[in-house]
Amino acid sequence: MRRSVPLDRARATLRDALLRHVPVDAREERHQNAILRLVETEPACFSRHTFTPGHITGSAFVVCEDTGLVLLHHHRRLGAWLQMGGHDDGENDARATALREAAEESGLKDLTLLSDEILDLDVHPIPAGKGEPTHLHYDVRYALATATPGDIHRDAAESVDLRWFTLGEAAERMNEPGGRRALARVAKLL
């Protein structure tokens, strides 16, 4: 097991946010502990080039507060309906990454946080591809809102489709425990 190393400001900020987050079940608690270990032991935890075991990503469940609908995109490479999100591009801040990625992938310019706190935590494998080995994404998830749901625009490089769903439809499309857990939390914020 790797030893903790002194934390820089970005890692300390994320560690503090992780410690404030209250997992809803044992699975999410395992994810929280794994992300904490990564943050405490890997100085390059935000780098998309840290493959062993993986790196921090930031993602966002984008909702329209007026309708209660959530936006998902059908990810081109992974072939699945997912929330917006991706790799850190130098922010060293999962929340900033989630906001940037959501704006890029949705075309929405008015995204705001529904809560300053973390929505959900999930660690999941990413298959090898694009010259990268199989690795883990230590995903820190947030809830964002838009008041302009008609302004979505699909990024063809990232998505096959981009569509609004009810929370129930989104849970069915995502069809995995982390997505259902996060969407249940989104419902409580609306």
Q: Is residue 52 part of a domain?
A: yes
Q: Whose CA is closest to 164, among 85, 83, 95, 104? A: 83
**Range of the structural domain that residue 17 is part of:** 9-189
Yes or no: say if 129 and 77 are a contact pair by the CB < 8 Å rule. Answer: yes
Q: Whose CA is closest to 71, among 178, 183, 157, 184? A: 183
Q: Is residue 175 part of a domain?
A: yes
Q: Is residue 3 part of a domain?
A: no
Task: Please tell me the predicted confidence (pLDDT) of residue 23.
Answer: 98
pTM score, two decimals?
Answer: 0.95
Q: Is residue 1 part of a domain?
A: no
Q: How many domains does the chain have?
A: 1
Q: Is residue 4 part of a domain?
A: no
Mean pLDDT computed over every residue of the chain? 95
Share of the chain above pLDDT 90, in %: 90
Burial 83-103 (b: 16+ CB within 10 A, else e): bbbbbbeebbbbbebbbbbbb
Quote the CA–CA distance of 101 and 45 in Å, as a whole number: 18
What's 119's domain CATH number?
A: 3.90.79.10
At 128, the pLDDT band (50, 70, 90 cuts) reads very high
Tens-place pLDDT, residues 25-61: 999 999 999 999 999 999 999 999 999 999 999 999 9
